[in-house]
Amino acid sequence: DGGITQSPKYLFRKEGQNVTLSCEQNLNHDAMYWYRQDPGQGLRLIYYSQIVNDFQKGDIAEGYSVSREKKESFPLTVTSAQKNPTAFYLCASHLGAYGYTFGSGTRLTVV
Amino acid sequence: KQEVTQIPAALSVPEGENLVLNCSFTDSAIYNLQWFRQDPGKGLTSLLLIQSSQREQTSGRLNASLDKSSGRSTLYIAASQPGDSATYLCAVPGGGADGLTFGKGTHLIIQP
């Protein structure tokens, strides 16, 4: 079945460490997105990519980086510059005017 | 900038009741609106997608309506069941390629 796979499900980061969240889709969608979800704040856009080798900052890009080397993959790196990374991270994709599809999320915790 | 508001923020009702969740948005120049369901600790599951040319969309016990001119959408759940307990999110496309703008959701509890 087509869909979005996010891994790992849970991730723990030590202070000063960079960590990378994986997002893979087999829907043949052009556009991919990363959102952050915090309690009481709703979902906020971190980065998005419309095509391979191109991506744009969203509303809260500081402390994060992405790459889009393949259509199917859009990994997110949470760098040490992100001072409050504990959150639930969701990856999404869509094609044209069709609806968005979301992955099952990665919960990142600072230890 | 697009803003999405969902009312109520939380709702608790007995099983079997019909209920309505509300969503409003500030910029009516949208081409579609999407309703999602989120269970605790899980990702988002798409429930209904309404194109701007449509006024309603139905899936089983769910019916969503869209009134672009007034900037409103409603999600109607018929004969609610405990399994419907979840957070329901409304989202509309942002300007250009900015992804979706979300409301903060309605946390729904259906009491057995």
Angstrom CA distances, B14 to A7, A87, A96, stand at: 37, 32, 40
Q: Tell me the average pLDDT across A85-98.
A: 91
Q: Is-cis flag, bond preceding A8, omega within 30?
A: yes
Among B100, B102, B104, B106, which would you mutate to test the A interface (most chain A Cβ atoms within 10 Å of its Cβ)? B100
Q: What is the pLDDT of residues B60-93, one digit of tens each?
A: 999 999 999 999 999 999 999 999 999 999 999 8
| B34 interaction partners in chain A (CB closer than 8 Å) | 99-100
Contacts of A96 (CB under 8 A, 6+ apart): none
Give chain A's mean pLDDT.
Answer: 94
- Chain A residues touching B94 at Cβ < 8 A: 45
Q: Express each pLDDT in B7-41 by its tens digit.
A: 999 999 999 999 999 999 999 889 899 999 999 99
Q: Residue B99: CB partners within 8 Å, gap ≥ 6?
A: A33, A35, A45, A48, A58, A92, A100, B93
- Cα gap B23→B14, rounded to integer Å: 22
pLDDT band with cut points at 50, 70 and 90 for residue A40: confident
Cross-chain residue pair A100–B100, CB shorter than 8 Å: yes
Instruction: Determine contact: A90 vs chain B, CB below 8 A.
Output: yes
Answer whether A31 touches B (CB < 8 Å): yes
Pairing state of beta strands A106-110 and A10-13? Answer: parallel
Residue pair A74/A23 in contact by the 8 Å Cβ criterion: yes
**How many alpha carbons fall within 13 Å on the CB side of residue B57?**
19
Q: What is the pLDDT of residue A41?
A: 82
